[in-house]
Amino acid sequence: MPLRDTSADHAATDRTFQVDLRGLVDLLSHHLYSSPRVYLRELLQNAVDALTARHAVEPHGNFGIRLYADGKVVRVEDDGVGLTEADVHTFLATIGRSSKRAERIAEQRADFIGQFGIGLLSCFLVADEIHVLSRSARTPDAPAVEWRGRGDGSYTVRTLPASARPRPGTTVTLTPRSDAGDWTRPQQVHALARHFGSLLRHPVTFDDGSGGQAAPVNPEPAPWARSFPTPGARSRALAAYGEEVFGFAPLDTIELDLPAVGLKGIACVLPEAVPAGRRHGHRVHVKGMLLSEQAEEVLPEWAFFVRCVVDAESLRPTASRESLYEDATLAAVRDALAERLREWIARAAASDPDLLGRFLQTHHLAVKSLAVHDDEILRMLLPWLPFETTDGHTTLDEFARTHRTVLVTSSVEEFRQVAAIASAAGLGVVNGGYTYDRELVHRMPEIRPEVSVADLDPATLTAHLDPVDRETELAAAPYLAQARDALAVFDCDVALRTFQPASAPALLVDSREARHERTRSRLAREQEGGLWGDILGALRQEAPRAQLILNQLNPLVRTAVAIDEPELARTSAEALYGQAVMLSRRPLRPAESSLINRSFLDLLAHALRKDS
């Protein structure tokens, strides 16, 4: 049986999407634009693009943009290319349509700021009606045309006599809503115009309706686009501009120039250190119009010691025109700007040691993060970078002159445990516990082949501690036995040696890895018999013990080892252990905190009983 053709019963009908303009504006305001203030940027941008198109028709014309705001209306007037009646129907009445696309200017987009046909809708963020009056420069005999768009989605179009607008161009007038006063009062409009348009290449003026002379919005070109009598004058002007924009006096300014993408600007070196990885936003203009003040993506993460202000021709904005589109061009710009920063560091290292010293003193962590991954910076700056050592804070170059063998700890607490004793023993130890430090110290032989670097081994340190004579060892044996018994709960052995400085009563030789292994072994014993205990037991090794080394040269230790009262001997050993733990500055475990408190109180009670 043949199948029945049902196509006639279900004929398809073409329909047109219905657009809820109020809903679309709400979407723009809450999800595309960061603030209603962008309405003025969009109006300025449309005016600039219209001027760009006018210059293509009349290359030598003198055209500009005029802003007016008196608290009742906001008006933006340009001498741009203008619109005909057909253009108005095509481009203002169709959401998403762009005249630049329609006229096949895709190949010439570098001349225009905008690439999306939704900018005019941003005016509905502050007004319920948009009034546009325009006259075309391409069709000089065409009448002026008026378009009124309303927030409910309706609009009207009518033609007017040429006298309604004697010159080609476009005027956009907004009557602000009562709730938009914060964004449309005269002072704010002027401030927004300066904020977004201070680097525009076309003249922009502002009139507040008071009858005075219109104020220039962008009276001077960017400082990098101006000529100066001397290099010093140029440097001072760039620094002054950086301070005006960012609010701090730069440690130095780095001029940026990438002709391939039409990018110019400056990088301002921060005068104060910032935490590693805290990225600052950079001020990015596209063809003079401010795109973003928080564009992190123009520089790599390691360049957190500068803030940039740049103006580019070829960077591509996102739909909101408040950030940059991540593409191959932006990636190439980021790499090129990173290279400019490296070149600045190289120049400072080669010709301005004072500047380099101030920079490294402030931003050594940023440079260390760069040197880890950049061999050129490593070779150039590693000898100059400051490190914490047993000789104090010094550069590796200076430290290596005294110590041909450089020992490096794996943690800050390890360094603090051994620093005083290692220094007295003549050992050269570097604190490798800070970010990047241990890795960089180990690369020192690449720069200074005569220097050897090794991790600090506890055996290396204890080898420099002298044993006591046999008679002293035997006399102290009862005390040492009591001390070992008191500290067994901490898996800590006790030994008696002599070492400098004599002011140090004890040295605790321990490591984070050893403590972890002891914790694992203790858990294995507690969980014995269960599945978890079997797993830990399979991993069981001989747990490394901590070692409390008492200094026979210290008067307090000589007195302690002679104690013949068992309880007092245990208490003094606990006190010496607690003091050694605190000197290491590592976090105290609860049992250690309890021991320190108890031993102090017991010693105090013993002293009071003795006095009474």
**237: CB partners within 8 A, 6+ apart:** 223, 226, 228
**Cα gap 163→336, rounded to integer Å:** 53
Tokens of 405: 């063998």
Closest CA to 550 of 421, 413, 377, 376: 421
**Three-state SS for 24?**
helix
Q: What is the pLDDT of residues 124-158, one digit of tens each?
A: 889 989 999 999 998 888 899 999 988 777 889 99
Q: Do the Cβ atoms of 332 and 320 come closer than 8 Å?
A: no
* The pLDDT of residue 79: 95
Neighbours of 4 (CB within 10 A): 7
**3-class SS of residue 275:** coil
Q: What size, in residues, is the chain?
A: 612
Burial 372-401 (b: 16+ CB within 10 A, else e): eebeebbebbbbbbbbbbbeeebbbeebbe
Please identify which residue in the block is written with the tokens 């880890």: 372
The 8-class DSSP code of residue 66 comes to E
Sign of the torsion angle spanned by Cα atoms 24, 105, 67, 242: positive
How many helices (H) and strands (E) the chain has is answered by: 21, 22
Separation between Cα atoms, residue 609 and residue 603, nearest integer Å: 10
CA triple 456-458-464, angle to 5 deg: 95
| Closest listed residue to residue 299, CA positions, set 248, 342, 355, 246 | 342
pTM beyond 0.85: no
State the Cα torsion 38-40-44-45 to the nearest 10°. 20
Look up residue 97 and give its two tokens: 């349509």
Strand partners, 297: none
Phi/psi at 362 (5° precision): -90, -40
Low-confidence ranges of the chain (pLDDT < 50): 1, 8, 96, 99-117, 531-532, 535-536, 538-541
Spatial distance between the Cα atoms of 149 and 498, rounded to a whole number of angstroms: 92
DSSP string, 565-602: -HHHHHHHHHHHHHHHHHHHTPPPPHHHHHHHHHHHHH
How far apart (Å, rounded) are the C-alpha atoms in residues 297 and 281?
8
Q: Which value, to the nearest 10 degrees, does the dihedral of the CA atoms of residues 566, 572, 573, 575 take?
A: 150
Beta bridge partner(s), residue 228:
none
- What is residue 158's three-state secondary structure? strand
Give the integer Cα–Cα distance in Å for 313 and 324. 12
**Half-sphere exposure of 298 toward its Cβ, with a 13 Å CA cutoff?**
35
Indicate the residue type of 138: R
State how far the Cα of 380 lies from the Cα of 48, in Å rounded to an integer. Answer: 46
- What's the pLDDT at 104? 42
- Under a CB-based contact definition with an 8 Å cutoff, are residues 407 and 460 in contact? yes
User: pLDDT tens for residues 340-378?
Assistant: 998 998 899 888 989 988 998 898 888 888 888 888 888
CB of 35 within 8 A of CB of 28?
no
Q: Is 509:494 a contact under the CB 8 Å cutoff?
A: no
CA distance 453 to 406: 5
Outline where 74-221 has alpha helix (H).
Answer: 85-87, 99-102, 181-184, 186-197
